[in-house]
Structure 1
Amino acid sequence: MTAPDIFLSYNREDQAVAKRYADAFAAEGLNVWWDAALRSGEAYDEVTEAALRAAKAVVVLWSPRSVVSRWVRAEATIADRCKTLVPVTIEPCERPIMFELTQTAELSHWTGDAGDRAWLAFLNDVRAFVGREAAPVPIVEAPEPTPTKPGERGGAPSLAVLPFTNRSGLPEDEVFAFGMVEDLVDALSKGVNVRIISNSSTARFCRGALPDVEAMGRQLGVRYLLEGNVRRSGSDLRVTAQLVEAASGEVLWSQKFDRPLANLAALQEDLIEELAAHLGAQCYRAEMEQALKKPRDLTAWECTTRAMAAIRQFTPESIFRAIEEAAHAVAIAPDYGLAHALLADTSSMAYMYLSPDDPAEVARIRHHIDHALACDAENAAVLGHVADALNYTGQAAEGLRRARRAIAISPGHGYAHFVAGMACAMLGKSGEALAHLANFRQIEPHSPYHQYAFHWQATCFQNLGDWAAAEEANDCCLTLNPDANYATFQKAIIVHKLGRIEEARQLMIETRRREPAGTLAMWELRTARLNAANEALLAHLRALWTETDGMV
């Protein structure tokens, strides 16, 4: 089969749109492989997979239908591994978590106009993958970045919360709207992902006073603006909020929050917690995307965001990339506590999953832990990453103490709850672990770490002897990230315990196939480190390893 230029991945309900793209690419002289007839959805057809792996560019059409398609997600995952992924949004939707940081063209408006600038820019991207010269398209050059000064730490993005509008017209809702802004500023100021300016600075910007958001952002000296309104609807109150990038005026995120009016005080507290969690995550995600696009002259803060983006993928390659970015942050700002904490954390991940026992490496990681605490011992984010590093280097008891301190400083710090849950699971405190993990998911409903939270939840259920619940939690992890090899391994152990021996063997074969360098000794060491040398789990591992020898 001749390798196609483009493999088109789509949901069959979007076939009419897919045809539009296929025809447009063909009109540009590009060879497109696509065939709706093969999309029965249950398993890869050999021809389909061969075309997918051979294609020079895999164009994934994201829509509300394709983002929930396991077929499309699998194709996108393989393309991402092969470095041929060129995604495009054809209808507004929230992309799968693992693809959120992949630069994605926005063509929801495109109806086939060959002269559309957004289409031409996307076509240039596709041609770059295919290796054919693109037709010249006028490109506006971005200004040269301002060189980073030696030792520049950088900082969290700045945000202004504008006065909320009372759309109900009732005096009591005016008080509620004012209180929402005041409490939201207070809640966000306790976080680390965004720097908030005081609400006294924004009080003069009533709706309509300054319609130019770029000028407003410039006057306030912020990167992002949050605006919102409150409105009664029968016995409910609706709060609507949207996050706007000041420089472009682009709406980055918007959401509605509906609550019953029965208890107004509790309602406001509930809304503040949820809105602050969403907002902090959205600002940080936007900063990650910006940092990933920036090739040089990075601040230490930007290096830490790039490291965090790499951690999310949790592959050996991404972990080492995260270590490199964190080390860069330390080199830029040697007294930056968060950079040392993140370097300790990323190094501990590599140690836990990829290294034999090595006291010298543990001591090196401990050096960065101590340095981070010496620089900023009362910072919840620093404490969270320090706790994670302690967990991964066999010091979960101290990790739990540091995580608890982070929660005491900032009760709404979701990551601290996650790390506390992990420490409790390692220490056999399954009940407390499950409570922390539930708090984490509630505080950060859209966090990319949910897959890991489900993994630790499954571990807790294993420790409690509830293997059916363990399988359910592990399946949630695999739904969020089908390529999570640690979850595939865990599933193999679970179903072996449940007596589904052949399924367990196939899962272990898949685990070993994905990581051919992994040895029984390495998997035994990982299992012992993460599960306090649980002999029952080790017995299942050894049995499965023996049963699958020579089958990979």
Structure 2
Amino acid sequence: MPDIFLSYNREDQAKARLFADAFAAEGFKVWWDTTLRAGEAYDEVTERALRDAGAVVVLWSKKSVASRWVRAEATVAHRQKTLVPAMIEACERPIMFELTQTAELSHWSGDRADPAWRSFLADVRQHLAARSKDDEVKKPDAPLGEVPSVQEVYSDPKSKQGVNRRMLIGGGVAGLSLAGTGLIWWLNRQEQSGGLHGSTAPEDNRVAVLPFKNLSGDPKQDYFADGLSAEVRAELARNAALQVAAQTSSSAFKDRTQSAKEMAEKLGVAYLLDGNARKADSTVRVNAELIDGRTGFSLWAETFERPLDNVFAVQSEIAASVTTALVDRVARQASEGKLAKGPGRVSSGGTENVAAFEHKLKGRALFESALGGQTDLDALAEFEAALALDPNYAAAHAWRSRTLSVLYGQSMASSTAERMRLDAIEAARRAVAIAPDFADGYSALGFSLFNVGLDVKAAKTVFEQSVEYGRGDGDVLTGFAVFCARTGRFGEAAATIARAATLDPLNPTVFRSAGTIELLARRYAAALPFFDRALSINPKMSVAPSLRGTALMLLGRQGEARQAFEAEPNRVFALPGLAILDHQADQKASAQANFEKLVREAGDSGLYQQAQVLAMWGELDRAVAQLRRAYEVKDAGLANLYTDPLLDKLKGNSEYQRLLKVIGFV
């Protein structure tokens, strides 16, 4: 059991050694990572030393502030009251540690007679004495569950942490561990703290924008009120001082059947922005109200009435007014210059053309209905109408790209599919070129490059840019998390999807994605609660039943797996599972019949799924042949190639390995 745990960034090792030597000279037992012995499990030993230490000395520098691992160690120490921080370089500490008394030792070069060092040493001794006293009165069998592990901190939605190189030492094993313990720990914690609807103790900077009510008297105008609240939400999310609940979760309360306190609790937010909109003739009137979610009392209310062509000014005014109303409640973040760039039509991907704005709103409403087929074509028409009016409308380009990418996966005619594929990528590139700091544009480009362009390396760079600009956007984070899982970055995927779930706790897509991450990480049992959660929110959701069926099948629970595949509304995903299950049950004729249905109904769009079936049947040469064909037609299913458990039998196949290299997975 060490007296002192030393937390620092590797690039500060020389300065850390001064501290370690000085503490040792005082007779203290010091643990830092240079004391690891050959053969020891890095994360287990570090975790144990961190929890056992009487004092955790965190050395803050520009490098360590940026280190997610150091932040995680500091967070655990703070919670177990063993944190004793010191500044070894002028830098801005993480917000949660700004109010913690920190020794100023940036000048210190190892002189043990230095008054600043002696004062810091006295603080360390005080912490050690307090910890020793606590240990004396603590029962021998006292549970340690009150103090989270570092892995838990990484995936704790309140920690705002991620994953870095230390967590990934040893390849995929550490990542798999995080994917399992972090995500499942998060799910369990949400269950215990009031359900998966939100936290019982939301942070003071968390706000949800409810869908504005349509007071025009015309139900066909709902899209305008909904779209206006979505745009205000996007404006607020661009402010780094605020955490804004995502649209999908907020929209669950459109009917206002619950009180403000109940809605805030389920969304895990401290504040609600409610409002209504009336669009008539050439004017728009918007009433907005900011509500304290813990008391239900109104904090601020205002009415905006403007000519319709000034609707964009209304959005910015509402967002600015809400920010002003909250700024004093957000722990100095705003006053210390940590706000994102202010409202601006180009950087937010917007337009000044009201008619183009309305077409984009209609198209998004159609696309997000997730009905597919003709609805997606109708959405595409709306986005193209918006762009005809304003060719520089970045958000419309981004949504057009997403729609084309989805339609590409459904297209049966190769000539049409190829045009859609190239157009999807070009539309997203156009969005990024118009608005270089628009997160949604980068997210759409990453999706198109990966799923229809099959270019992993190019997609990686773009997805990482999307997160840089969209850390407060649940959709952006979810897209990045799934990309990470499909490229084997399971630890990063787990931390990112947990963050997305705090922003969008009622979005079934987030939970389906969390289950997908666990499934791809070969943690089949851990995946099931997430798929169950997604389907409990949206029982008609596609793909989730087949993913759930795959997890059950790989667990050997064939009867339950069959029920799941039979419940899948998308036959391209249902038929492969049924064909595999029939083959496993030695019902070869039925298996072949389902395979032939897949070929007949999906055509070239189902080549990847055909390869999955053939690989699970053990017909490896045929499976590889279908994968080769799938690559020739750029089948979007190949985005799953690297981490798909249904293709595990192909791992030693040279042609399979060649495809991984061509696409950029390895």
TM-score (norm 1): 0.45
Q: Which has the higher contact order (CA 8 A, sep 6+)?
A: 2
TM-score (norm 2): 0.38
